[in-house]
Amino acid sequence: MVSVRVTKLRPSAKIPKYMSIGAAGCDITACLDDAPIVIAPHQRVAVPTGIAVEIPEGFEIQVRPRSGYALKKGLTVVNAPGTIDSDYRGELMVLLINLSDDAVTVEPGDRIAQLVLQKVQRIEWVDADTLSETQRATGGFGSTGLKDTSTPL
């Protein structure tokens, strides 16, 4: 288990929590100072959470949609998964988008997203004149499907 320090920026803020013993993500709630937010169809909104965190170096927190919110209300995280870097100390905001054709109301205290702590591996970029050969080569999006089904990969 990794400890992450959290600060409530407003009294009504809630510390994220796991909703079951096997949950991969902690639910995070909207901190709206008792005033709901109405999100119009296809509108994007930064929803405040009322908390700031201190993520250990070498980790990130990913902000992911809640499947129930997406299914029932059509709300999802715009930049899923969003990344909270270890050196960020400001208020966590969840960027929601309403994909439905109806306005959706987010109430104070609604569980709006989930947070997952992930280890981050830093990249050392190596400038190279050539790259190794692969079967896929330069094939882009959708190019990994089998063209000749008689040849196993």
The answer to whether residues 95 and 49 touch, using CB atoms and an 8 Å cutoff, is no
In a domain, 59, yes or no: yes
In a domain, 33, yes or no: yes
In a domain, 129, yes or no: no
pTM for the full model? 0.85
Q: Total structural domains in the chain?
A: 1
- Host domain of residue 30: 5-119
Please classify residue 94 by burial: count the beta carbons closer than 10 Å to its beta carbon, then call 0-12 exposed, 13-18 middle and 19+ buried.
Answer: buried
Classify residue 12 by its DSSP letter.
Answer: T
In a domain, 107, yes or no: yes
In a domain, 31, yes or no: yes
In a domain, 151, yes or no: no
In a domain, 133, yes or no: no
| Neighbour tally for 116: CB within 10 Å | 14
**What are the pLDDT digits (tens) for 52-103?**
999 999 999 999 999 998 999 999 999 999 999 999 999 999 999 999 999 9
User: What's the CATH code of the domain at 18?
Assistant: 2.70.40.10
